[in-house]
Amino acid sequence: VFPGVRQAQWLTKTKLVEGLPPAVQGIVDNPALGLQELEERAKHVVSHARLWDTAEVAPRREKYCPVLFENLIHICRLMSGKYPSLSKRMLARNCRIAATWERESILLQVRGLSGILMNSMTPIPPVASKEEILATKEHVLETFYPIAPTIDLQEVNVYRELNDTGQCFRDGYPYSHPHTLFFLESANVRTDRFRPEQLRAKMLMFAFGNALAKAKALHGNDPKVLEQPVVVQSIGTDGQLFQFMVFQLNTTDLVSNDGVKNLVWIDSDQNLYERAQCVPEVKKGVVMKPAGISGFQPDTFKKFLALYLHGTV
C-alpha cells in the first residue's frame, strides 16, 4: 500500500506544496492581529482538557480530544469582537458528502461523513495566483506503475453518480460555502486511530470532495478549469499532534494527467504540547516530573487560529 498522501495526490490530480500558503502564514506572523495575546488562554484550555475536566487519573483521548477542540474553537470565536464577519460561520456535525469524478478510465467516488464542517457565508479567496495555477501544467504527477493507484480502494457498483454536498448546503442555506473540515482522531486505542499519514490522506480526499461537490453545484458537471477556484481547509488532530491543510480546486477536468493541477499545502505533525503529566512522577521522595503541561507550542495554536481567521482578516 502506498504512503497515503502520494496516492491521494494522484486520485485528485493535485500538486503538493510543503508548509502553509503565504496567505495563512502571513496571519500567523502578523503581530498586529494580537494572536499572541490568546496564548495564555490556549495553554489554559490544554490544561483544562488534559488535567481538570476529568475525575480520572489519566483522562482518555476520546474524552480530552473533543474537549480540547471545542475549547480551541471557543477561543477562535472570541476574535469575532474584532472581526464581526467571523460570526457568519456555522459548525455542522455529521455532514455527509458524495463527490464523483473520472480519473483516466476509472470512475471514483468519495463519500461518507466528512468530520465537523465549518461553513461560511462567503468563500475563502484563492490562495494561488493565476500564474501559479498555470505553472502547475508543468508539474508531473507521480505514477505507481506497475501497481494500480487504486490498489487499496473499495470497489462498489455505482448506480447513481452522486455529487451531493449533504444536508449542509440545501438551496437557500445562508452558510453555503465549505470553509474548514475538522477531523478528531480520538479513539483511545492507537490501532483504532488513523496514523498521521493516513489522516492527512483522508483530510485531502474529503477537502477535495467538498470542493468538487461545491464547484459542480456552482458551475455544473462539465469538466473545466475554474475561473474562481474553490478553497477548502482541513485540520486533523489526536488531541496533541495537529495536521494543517489548505486545498485549492483549480480544475474539475480530472481525467488526464495533463493541464492544470489542483494544489494542496500541508503543514504536518505539529505538536500543540510535548507532554501532559496528570500526576507528578516521584522517585525516592523527589518529584522528577511535576504535574502539568510541558512544552506548549504557541505556533501550533496560532496556525489553528490562522486557518479559522483565513478569508476574513
pLDDT in tens, 247-282: 999 999 999 999 999 999 999 999 999 998 877 788
Q: What is the pLDDT of residues 125-153, one digit of tens each?
A: 999 999 999 999 999 998 866 565 665 55
pLDDT at 163 over 90: no
pLDDT for the residue numbered 3: 54
Average pLDDT over residues 117-127: 95
Percent of the chain past pLDDT 90, that is, above it, reads 66
Q: What is the pLDDT of residues 199-248, one digit of tens each?
A: 999 999 999 999 999 999 999 999 999 999 999 999 999 999 999 999 99
Most confident of 157-166, 216-225, 297-306: 297-306
Pairing of strands 14-18, 262-271: parallel
pLDDT at 284 over 50: yes
pLDDT for the residue numbered 288: 78
Give strand pairing partners of 106.
103
pLDDT at 174 over 60: yes
How many other CB atoms are found less than 10 A from the CB of residue 21?
20
pLDDT for the residue numbered 145: 62
**Mind giving me the DSSP string for 231-245?**
EEEEEEESSSEEEEE
Q: How far apart are CA 121 and CA 294, in angstroms?
A: 39
Give CA separation, 257 vs 13, 50, 140, in Å: 7, 46, 8
Higher pLDDT, 188 or 229: 229
